[in-house]
Structures are given as C-alpha cells and as structure tokens.
Amino acid sequence: MRKRTEPVTLEHESCAASGSSSSGSAAAALDADCRLKQNLRLAGKGPAEPRSGADAGMKRALGRRKSLWFRLRKIILCALGFYIAIPFLVKLCPGIQAKLIFLNFVRVPYFIDLKKPQDQGLNHTCNYYLQPEDDVTIGVWHTIPSIWWKNAQGKDQMWYEDALASNHPIILYLHGNAGTRGGDHRVELYKVLSSLGYHVVTFDYRGWGDSVGTPSERGMTYDALHVFDWIKARSGDNPVYIWGHSLGTGVATNLVRRLCERETPPDALILESPFTNIREEAKSHPFSVIYRYFPGFDWFFLDPITSSGIKFANDENPFPLQCEAHLLSSAHLAR
C-alpha cells in the first residue's frame, strides 16, 4: 500500500509544481503585456504634446487680440460720445463759452505775488488798487520810464502818481485773455516801453488775477474807462496812448468809441493782433477746427456767445470823423 501511494503523492506534487510554474509564467506574460501596452500609450502621447501646446499659444494670442480690439473700440466709442456731447453741453450752458473766451481762470505764471512787481524784475513799478464800482476792485501796475529807476527806489504811491505829470507820454496797456498783468511776455513789453521813455499803466480786468468781480464785456470796458480817467486826472497835458492786444483790442475800440462820443479822445490807438468781432474770431480760431463742419456749428457754438452779451465788435465801432483824423495824426507823430 505504501509503495502505491508514494508515486501518487509525487505525481501530485509534480503537478502542483508544474501548475504553479505555469501560472507564474502566465502572470509574467500578462505583466509584460500590460507594460507593453502602457509603453505604447506613452509613446502615442509623446508626439501629441507639442501640438496641444501650440494650440494653447494660438488661443492665448487670439484672446489678447480680442481684448485689445475690445479696449480700442471702447476708447473710440467714448471719444465719439464725448465729441458729440460737447456741443449740446455748450448750448445748454452758455457760461462755458464765456469762460473759454475770457480764460480768466488761467493764471499764468502761477504762484507770483501781484502786489510785488519787483519780483518780476520791475524795480521801478508800483502796484495800485482802484475801485470802478462798489463791488469791484482792480489791480493796477504803473511802470515809470527806466531813466528814473534809481529815483523810484523806496517811493510810495503818491510819488508815482505825481510822476504821471512829467513830460513823458503814457501808454494804457489792455492785455488779452488768460494770464494776468504779470505774464512773462507782458512784463517784457513793459520793460521795452519803459526803456523808450514811456509810462506804462496796465491792469487786470475784473475777474482776472487779484481783481475782484465777474468778467463781462461791459465790465471790462468800464474798468478801462475808469483807469483812463484816473490817468487823465493826474497826467495834465501829457499824451495818453491806448494799446490793446488780442482780446484787449475789443476793449480798446469799445473804450475809444466811448471817449470819442464824449469828445475826450485819446492821443493814439494801437491795436496788436486785432480781430473783426468775437463771433468771427471764434469761427476761425484753431480750437474750433474739429467742430467747424459739425452740423449746426453756428447754433451750437456761436449763438451762445451772442446770447451771453459778448460781441467785441471792432468792425461796428466806427469813430467820428474828427476823432479818426485826430487818432491818425497822433499815431503818426508818435512814431
């Protein structure tokens, strides 16, 4: 019995061994097959990665272009809306147009003390304050001929007023819009005229510089008339010339017309950079170029000026014949 069972046991053991070896080989084959498939998948994915990166880069570039175009379109639409809105704003608020004509809020140069003209190199100039009306005060500078600059040191206002009666002609200078009587180019002109032997009297209209009041054509003309009368009350028989520059030419012609009507004309009238009238000046001004062909330009931009009472009609300020002849002869002699 033992002899028969032993071979069976050995056979079973050999079968088990063979079975285990066959199952191990099958598992090994299965693992090898899995690794092969994984390698194939990795190999297949390798070449595709650069292509997907390029696609992402293109998408980002297109996104940037769309974003830039969106911003540009937004800026263009905003600018167009602003361009269209300005005419309606000016029409609804005529005061804006008056501000743009006077530009009295532009005080250049800034941070200067108009009470101290010597800070601007005018060491022979005195600062006054006159009162044309109860609620109006205007600042005035009086520069004497430069040959007296040594005598003028430390002198008070009364000395300067008495100096107007000396044998030197007087120029009443009416400046243009923007800035103050202390503007750099204006100060240089005072120095030149002073060196030529002239008294120079200039002032800031109401609303300009440190002068108190609200700007208007009537008010500016009245301020000039008040200063002219103040000069004539102190100058005796000395000649008085009126010099207007830019917007100041409109004030000058208004002033001279009033003086001629009351038969007290000045000795000469000098117009520097004059214009026909403020309406024509606004139409031809470089700032109006972008709106010159805008539909209803006159209605939007020019009519509000007229409605604000601003004309400065130099072409409508004819002087009496005797006044014209007097001005021409005096101007000829002044040369």
Q: What is the pLDDT of residues 48-92, one digit of tens each?
A: 445 566 667 776 767 777 778 888 888 888 988 887 888 788 788
DSSP 145: -
State the pLDDT at residue 299. Answer: 84
DSSP 328: H
Contact of 199 with 169, CB cutoff 8 Å: yes
Q: Across the strands, what pairs with 171?
A: 200, 241
What gap in Å lies between CA 274 and CA 249, rounded to an integer? Answer: 6
State the pLDDT at residue 327. Answer: 53
State the pLDDT at residue 294. Answer: 81
Residue 80 Cα to chain centre, angstroms:
20
State the pLDDT at residue 35. Answer: 63
Q: Which residues contact 94 (CB under 8 A, 6 or more apart)?
A: 304, 305, 307, 308
Residue with tokens 């092969």, as numbered in its chain: 36
State the pLDDT at residue 234. Answer: 95
Q: Across the strands, what pairs with 170?
A: 199, 240
Contact of 227 with 243, CB cutoff 8 Å: no
State the pLDDT at residue 31. Answer: 60
Residue 131 Cα to chain centre, angstroms:
31
Q: Closest by alpha carbon to 114, among 125, 132, 127?
A: 127
State the pLDDT at residue 230. Answer: 97
Residues (pLDDT < 70) of the chain are 1-55, 59, 61, 318-335
Structural domains of the chain sorted by starting position, each given as residue range(s) with its CATH number in brackets: 61-92+279-311 (no CATH), 107-277+315-328 (3.40.50.1820)
Residue with tokens 């750099």, as numbered in its chain: 184
Contact of 302 with 283, CB cutoff 8 Å: yes
What gap in Å lies between CA 98 and CA 108, rounded to an integer? Answer: 19
State the pLDDT at residue 182. Answer: 95
| pTM for this predicted structure | 0.74
